[in-house]
Amino acid sequence: MDGVHDLGGMQGFGRVEREKDEPVFHAPWEAEVLAMMRAGGGRGVYNLDEFRHAIERMRPAEYLAATYYEKWLAGITRLFVEKGLVTDKELEARIAFFDARPDAPVTAPLTGSIPTARVSFNPGWTQEVVRETGAQPRFAPGDAVITRNIHPRGHTRLPRYARGKRGVIHRLHGVHVFPDAHAHGLGEQAQPLYSVRFDARELWGEDAEPHQAVHIDLWESYLEPGR
Amino acid sequence: MGKNHPNVDPYIVSRVRALESLLLEKGILAPDAVDRVVQRYESDTGPMVGARAVARAWTNPVYKRILLEDTRTALAEFGLDYNMLLVTENTPAIHNLVVCTLCSCYPWPVLGLPPTWYKMPAYRARAVSEPRAILKEFGVDVPAEREVRVWDSSAELRYMVLPERPAGTERLGEAELVPLITRDALIGVAHVQPPSPPRSTSP
């Protein structure tokens, strides 16, 4: 989707602000959000592409104002509700509980014992995305390509700044799960993935900085033969 | 734009705890999950695998070739099984820089959690269109004749820069080099600095 998350090349954000001696977590709740995100993923409630797309669906002004873990919280809350594991009503009641008792421990509203999680927790949850489908790649390193000018309503990993642009295949990465399908319950639709090299002048015209290139990892269906 | 400092806003904390209590109740979140996350990312703070791999590559040409061409095998020497990392080498002709414009993809297993600036709109927006300007803000001047090569991490592959070994470190061994190698150098926004000379006690 042409959302505000697709930031490449946008202007007006000012300098890159760095924080001296930044802590790993700025508040305990950030680690709690990270643990919940991993738990939902590890249990198969959602995949990473659905997770990214859930964040992309935040309202643009909220997206830009949110911190990283606030975005994660918005994304997983949406997914747990959409997947039917948690209802809006349950959430509202619990939010009211903690609004009224901000110092209560997280287990305070629970009655009875805490069930053992059905899947052991893996704090480093990732997903394996390389597939051996035997698909023959359409392009080879050195081939000229042009990216398609697409504007799908759903998830895509073809950044807006690189659509309709001429590039050169730098290398083949193998066959990878296709996020544009995988984020929408349409299966894996794995296809060849390439590192594609773009000259900065192709992307930014005469405003490009000197002697610059961008390499982007792009799936085969984003690409047409170039000349 | 965007808050740089995550907050302890009670509005957020109530929402976190509400969801957390429901996931505990439904058996989705293990009771020890939060402690394990904190343990993994806050307490297990040995030298980053990325820094150790770079130090070994600087001191061992065979290892360097493996790190660049068969990264998974190279990382296995540090007990890490990670098949999605690509390492890209800075050379006299090329300076590399890593970003994720669409979200905040970052090689957690080798570099730890990303710094906030890496995840903020300013870096994600500008790294692909004005990397030299960003590098200048970070104190890195790349001569015009040297290519700035930006890697936009749009798939599940992750990138790490193999920075230049600084002059004046020829006599240092692998273990002495590791602490010089910063996270920022492995993202591509800093040069590795030689160790500062011992402070003189007399003027």
| Same domain, residue pair A156 and A201 | yes
Residue B85 lies in a domain: yes
Q: Which residues of B touch A6 (CB under 8 A)?
A: 101-102
Residue A151 lies in a domain: yes
Q: How far apart are CA A165 and CA A213, in angstroms?
A: 13
Domain of B151: which CATH number?
3.90.330.10
Q: Which residues of A touch B26 (CB under 8 A)?
A: 85-86, 115
What pLDDT was estimated at residue A124? 66
Residue B2 lies in a domain: no
| Same domain, residue pair A88 and A32 | yes
Q: At what angle do helices A68-82 and B10-25 cross, to 10 degrees?
A: 40
Of the candidates B14, B21, B103, B154, the residue annotated as catalytic is B103
Check if B21 is active-site.
no
pLDDT band, residue B41 (cuts 50/70/90) = confident
Structural domain range at position A135? 131-225
Structural domain range at position B27? 12-43
Structure token digits, residue B146: 């040297």
B170 touches chain A (CB under 8 A): no
A37 touches chain B (CB under 8 A): no
Question: Counting beta carbons within 10 angstroms of the beta carbon of residue A205, is it exposed (0 to 12), middle (13 to 18) or buried (19 or more)?
Answer: exposed
Across the interface, whether the CB atoms of B138 and A16 are under 8 A apart is answered: yes
State what percent of residues in chain B have pLDDT above 70.
91
Q: What mean pLDDT comes out for the span B20-48?
A: 87
Mutate to test the interface with B, among A16, A170, A201, A216 (most CBs of B within 10 A): A16
Residue A71 lies in a domain: yes
A67 touches chain B (CB under 8 A): yes
| Same domain, residue pair A112 and A140 | no
| Same domain, residue pair B23 and B113 | no
Domain of A49: which CATH number?
1.10.472.20
| Same domain, residue pair B170 and B72 | yes
Residue that wins the pLDDT comparison between B125 and B109: B125
Q: What mean pLDDT comes out for the span B47-60?
A: 94
| Same domain, residue pair A139 and A111 | no
* Minimal CA separation from A137 to chain B, in Å: 17
Across the interface, whether the CB atoms of B154 and A216 are under 8 A apart is answered: yes
Residue A126 lies in a domain: no
Residue B81 lies in a domain: yes
Across the interface, whether the CB atoms of B152 and A216 are under 8 A apart is answered: yes
Taking the mean position of all CA atoms in its chain, how far away is CA A35?
17
Check if B153 is active-site.
no
What pLDDT was estimated at residue B23? 96
pLDDT tops 60 at residue B6: no
pLDDT band, residue B2 (cuts 50/70/90) = very low
Check if B100 is active-site.
yes
Structure token digits, residue B105: 């993809």
* Minimal CA separation from B201 to chain A, in Å: 28
pLDDT tops 80 at residue B44: no
Residue A125 lies in a domain: no
Across the interface, whether the CB atoms of A159 and B101 are under 8 A apart is answered: yes
| Same domain, residue pair A5 and A86 | yes
What pLDDT was estimated at residue A113? 77
| Same domain, residue pair B24 and B64 | no
| Same domain, residue pair B34 and B107 | no
The minimal CB distance from A114 to the residues B24, B125, B156 is found for B24
Domain of A143: which CATH number?
2.30.30.50
Residue A80 lies in a domain: yes
Q: For residue range B91-108, what is the model confidence (pLDDT) as tens digits?
A: 999 999 999 999 999 999
Each of the 227 residues of chain A gets a pLDDT tens digit; together they read 999 999 999 999 999 999 998 999 999 999 999 999 999 999 899 999 999 999 999 999 999 999 999 999 999 999 999 999 999 999 999 999 999 999 999 999 988 777 776 556 666 677 889 999 888 999 999 999 999 999 999 999 999 999 999 999 999 999 999 999 999 999 999 999 999 999 999 999 999 999 999 999 999 999 999 97
Structure token digits, residue B137: 């803000």
| Same domain, residue pair B26 and B123 | no
| Same domain, residue pair A115 and A158 | no
Mutate to test the interface with B, among A45, A47, A211 (most CBs of B within 10 A): A211
* Closest CA relative to residue A178, chosen from A160, A154, A201, A213: A154
| Same domain, residue pair A186 and A206 | yes
In terms of DSSP H, where are the helices of B26-120?
33-38, 49-59, 61-69, 71-76, 108-111, 116-119
Question: Among residues A70, A97, A120, which one ends one of the domains?
Answer: A120
| Same domain, residue pair A5 and A89 | yes
Q: Which residues of B touch A118 (CB under 8 A)?
A: 27-28
Residue A93 lies in a domain: yes
Residue in this structure with the two tokens 């360097």, named with its chain if needed: B64
The minimal CB distance from A36 to the residues B29, B31, B147 is found for B29
Residue in this structure with the two tokens 């997280």, named with its chain if needed: A106
| Same domain, residue pair A47 and A114 | yes
Going by the DSSP 8-state scheme, the letter that residue A167 receives in this structure is E
pLDDT tops 60 at residue B5: no
What is the number of domains present in chain B?
Answer: 2
Going by the DSSP 8-state scheme, the letter that residue B165 receives in this structure is P
| Same domain, residue pair A208 and A189 | yes
pTM above 0.90, yes or no: yes
Q: What mean pLDDT comes out for the span B151-180?
A: 96
